[in-house]
Amino acid sequence: MHIALILLGFAFPLLELAVLIKVGQNIGIWLTLLLLVVTGVAGGLIVQSQGLQAARRTAQSMAEGRPPIEPVVDSLMLMIAGALLLIPGLLTDLIALPLLVPPVRRWIARRVLQRLFANADVRVETHEWRSPGRDAGSASPQ
């Protein structure tokens, strides 16, 4: 697994560069650069607006007394999409685009969380709390 990640870390930037060169050859360097700038700006604006909506939903969930799990995960997915859009390249933009569509983003989040919880090993320890000055073996006051 670790070797695959290392290879991906080397191969992905090379693949990204190859795609940029090929697109640049087909549509021209200036259109390719414009495409990179437009996707970055548009993605940033979308992430900003949807991030504000996620923040409002987080506050609403907390005000209603519900745990804000969905809005927090939604915000995390938007941050990932934003980071991918800021990385220059068309492949990272293609990976980020599905994360900008709310129903697709929620589907991906559910799948990721299901896999995470399916593989998680959760252990809970509880301890009895005793007030200071009381011995565990002492009788209760009568």
> In the prediction, which pLDDT does 136 show?
53
132/107: higher pLDDT: 107
- Predicted confidence at residue 30, as pLDDT, reads 94
Quick: pLDDT tens for 5-53.
888 888 989 999 999 999 999 999 999 999 989 888 887 787 787 778 8
Residue whose token pair is 């009381």: 134
Q: Between 4 and 15, where is the model more confident?
A: 15
**122 pLDDT exceeds 80?**
no
pLDDT band for position 140 (cuts 50, 70, 90): low
More confident residue, 139 or 50: 50
- What is the Cα–Cα distance from 37 to 134, expressed in whole angstroms? 68
The pLDDT value recorded for residue 118 is 82
Q: Residue 22: its pLDDT value, please?
A: 95
| Per-residue model confidence (pLDDT) at position 57 | 84
| Ranges of H-type helices in the chain | 2-27, 29-63, 69-86, 90-96, 102-118
User: For 51-110, what is each residue's pLDDT tens digit?
Assistant: 788 788 888 888 888 888 888 888 888 888 888 888 888 999 999 989 888 899 989 988
